[in-house]
Structure 1
Amino acid sequence: MAQLIKQGQLVSNDEWHLIEDDAIIADYGIISLKRWQENAAALLPLAQAGKIGLLLNSDETADQIGDDCRQFVLIAVNFPKFSDGRGYSTARLLRERHGFKGELRSVGDVLIDQLFFMNRCGFNSFALRDDQDLNDALAAFATFTVSYQNDVNDPRPLFRRR
Structure 2
Amino acid sequence: MSKLIKDGAIVDDTWTLLAKPEADAISAEVPAGQVIVPLSVWNAQKDSLQARTDIGVWLDSDESAEQIGEDAKRFPVIAVNFPLFMDGRAFSSARLLRERYGFTGELRAIGNFIRDQLCYLRRCGVNAFAFANSETSLEEAVKSLNDFQEYYQASVDQPLPLFRRRA
TM-score of the superposed pair, with normalisation by structure 2: 0.89
Q: Tell me how far apart the structure 1 counterparts of residues 138 and 13 of structure 2 sit (CA, whole Å).
A: 16
Q: Which moved more, 1:65-74 or 1:30-39?
A: 30-39
| Deviation string, structure 1 residues 118-141 (Cα, Å, up to 9, x no partner) | 000000000123232223211111
Q: Is the 8 A contact 1:111 1:132 kept in 2?
A: no
* 8 Å CA contact retained: 1:3, 1:130: no
Gaps of 5+ in 2: 22-27
> Which residue matches 2:103?
100
Q: Helix, strand or coil for the counterpart of 2:159?
A: coil
* Alignment-derived partner of residue 14 in structure 2: 15
Secondary structure of the 2:50 match is helix
- Given that 2:81 and 2:90 are in contact with CA atoms closer than 8 Å, whether structure 1 keeps it comes out as yes
Contact 1:122 1:153 in 2 (8 A): yes
| Paired position in structure 2 for 1:151 | 155
Partner of 1:115: 118
Structure 2 Cα separation of the partners of residues 4 and 157 of structure 1? 30
Taking the TM superposition and a 5 Å limit, the aligned residue runs for 1:46-57 are 46=52, 49=53, 51-57=54-60
1-structure distance, mates of 2:63, 2:9: 28
Q: TM-score, normalised by structure 1?
A: 0.92
Structure-2 separation of matches of 1:157 and 1:42: 44
- The answer on 1:28 being equivalent to 2:31 is no
Q: What is the CA RMSD across the aligned residues, in angstroms?
A: 1.4
Runs of 4 or more off by more than 4 Å in structure 1? none
State the distance in 2 between where 1:126 and 1:100 align. Answer: 17
For residue 156 of structure 1, report the CA deviation from its aligned partner.
Answer: 0.4
1:82-101 equivalent positions in 2, closer than 5 A: 82-101=85-104
1: CA distance between counterparts of 2:146 and 2:38?
A: 33
Alignment length (residue pairs): 158
Q: Deviations over 1:33-83 (max 9, x none)?
A: 11111121221111xx2x111011000000011010111000011100110
Task: Please report how far the alpha carbon of residue 142 of structure 1 lies from its aligned counterpart in structure 2 after TM superposition.
Answer: 1.2
